[in-house]
């Protein structure tokens, strides 16, 4: 794999390969010195044109644990503010000798555009509403590990996964649905009609606006963040009303099956979609998602940049 731009481009074999490599990276991360020389001398640049805390730090931690050199391009202090185009920015940084760009941008499709302007690997860290493939991979890895599933192509077979909330604006939902269903899970999309995309009926999912009818019968409850920064119209007339119908509150939490995993990509809107403290829930794996994110991103960088014969375990 040279680029990781979307889940469909990666395909089911690619997903399984990354998840298995991530198992190895989890082991590396447990060592007293969680660092291997796999990417010595390679430079990885993060180009984040949108705000981010966990994704950027997670990628940079992953790159450092593989001994890559890392550079961060921060838009707020860059020549983008002097009118530099995306192409000039990429070509300028590329001229310094870069092995991979990790890119986040508010416009869908930017990772594909970038790969026309540079020979470096492109890793998509979120493009608009479109894709967030490493989030989907770390979510699959978390479910697979926490539920003790097999390591093969059908590792999520038979699981019922509800994805709840603002699906319309969510690149996480789009990538997760593609990855979960590719691995055999049954996905139920739950949200108010105004926050479901018009094309949802063409997706390989069940759809409902009644969270209470499914909450007691799922293996994974995946809560999405309400993406208020992406809404340019009033899609939710009243946030309180939204929370009444779609938030995870105490009453709903008490109806979850004892072994049901609760997940959220972060950052959470407490009091909007999350009315309970996740640490009060028996099986919240939200912080596991964050720690698995580092291992999964190490696997992605190694898969894209590692030499065929280089040893991660050395």
Q: Rule CB under 6 A: which residues touch ligand NCD? A: 54-55, 126, 132, 135, 171-172, 225, 227, 265-266
**Nearest distance from C-beta of residue 140 to ligand NCD, angstroms:** 15
Identity of the residue, 46 or 227, whose beta carbon is nearer to ligand NCD in the bound complex? 227
Residue of this chain nearest to ligand NCD (CB atom) = 225
| Of 42 and 105, CB closest to ligand NCD | 105
Alpha carbon distance 154, 16 (integer Å) = 9
The two tokens of residue 212 are 């209470």
- Dihedral-angle region of residue 165 (phi above 0 means left; psi in -120 to 50 means alpha; beta otherwise): left
Residue number, 3 or 132, with CB nearest to ligand NCD: 132
Question: From CA 178, how far away is CA 6, in angstroms rounded?
Answer: 10
Q: What is the smallest separation between the CB atom of 225 and ligand NCD, expressed in angstroms? A: 3
**CA 61, CA 178: separation in Å to the nearest integer?**
27
Least distance between ligand NCD and beta carbon 249 (Å): 20
194 neighbors 153 (Cβ within 8 angstroms):
no
Cβ-contact 72, 60 below 8 angstroms: yes
Q: CB 227 → ligand NCD: shortest distance, Å?
A: 6
Closer CB to ligand NCD, 28 or 138, in the complex: 138
Using the minimum distance from each CB to ligand NCD, give the nearer residue, 265 or 306.
265
Residue with tokens 């997706």: 203
- Residue whose CB is less far from ligand NCD, 18 or 312: 18
> Own/partner pairs for 23-27, CB < 8 Å, 24+ apart?
23/141, 23/145, 23/151, 23/295, 24/299, 24/312, 24/313, 25/65, 25/294, 25/295, 25/296, 25/298, 25/299, 25/302, 25/312, 26/145, 26/292, 26/295
Contacts of residue 82, Cβ cutoff 8 Å, sequence gap at least 6:
none
Query: In the complex with ligand NCD, which residue's Cβ is closer, 114 or 136?
Result: 136
CB of 243 to ligand NCD, least distance (A): 16
Question: Nearest approach, Cβ of 295 to ligand NCD (angstroms)?
Answer: 16
Shortest Å, Cβ 55 to ligand NCD? 4
User: In this structure, are residues 312 and 38 in contact, taking their beta carbons and an 8 Å threshold?
Assistant: yes
- What angle do the packed helices 171-182 and 133-146 form, to 10 degrees? 50
């Amino acid at each position: 794999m040279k680029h990781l731009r979307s889940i469909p481009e990666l395909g089911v074999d690619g997903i399984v390969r990354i998840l298995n490599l991530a198992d190895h990276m989890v082991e590396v991360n447990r060592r007293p010195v969680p660092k291997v020389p796999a990417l010595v001398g390679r430079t990885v640049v993060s180009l984040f044109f949108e705000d981010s805390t966990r994704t950027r730090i997670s990628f940079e931690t992953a790159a450092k644990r593989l001994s890559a050199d890392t550079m961060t391009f921060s838009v707020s202090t860059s020549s983008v503010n002097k009118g530099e185009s995306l192409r000039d920015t990429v070509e300028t940084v590329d001229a310094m000798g870069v092995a991979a760009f990790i890119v986040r941008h508010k416009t869908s499709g930017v990772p594909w555009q970038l790969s026309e302007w540079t020979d470096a690997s492109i890793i998509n860290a979120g493009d608009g509403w479109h894709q967030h493939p490493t989030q989907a991979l770390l979510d699959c890895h978390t479910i697979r590990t926490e539920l003790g599933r097999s390591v093969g192509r059908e590792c999520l077979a038979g699981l019922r996964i509800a994805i709840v909330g603002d699906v319309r604006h969510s690149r996480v939902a789009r990538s997760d649905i593609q990855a979960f269903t590719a691995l055999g899970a049954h996905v139920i999309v739950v949200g108010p009609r105004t926050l479901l995309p018009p094309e949802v009926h063409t997706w390989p999912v069940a759809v409902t606006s009644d969270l209470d009818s499914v909450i007691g019968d799922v293996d994974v409850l995946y809560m999405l963040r309400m993406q208020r920064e992406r809404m340019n119209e009033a899609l939710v007339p009243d946030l309180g009303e939204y929370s009444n119908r779609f938030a995870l509150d105490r009453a709903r939490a008490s109806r979850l099956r004892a072994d049901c995993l609760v997940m959220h990509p972060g950052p959470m809107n407490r009091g909007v979609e999350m009315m309970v403290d996740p640490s009060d829930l028996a099986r919240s794996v939200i912080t596991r998602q964050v720690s698995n994110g580092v291992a999964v991103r190490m696997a992605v960088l190694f898969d894209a940049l590692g030499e065929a014969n280089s040893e991660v375990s050395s």
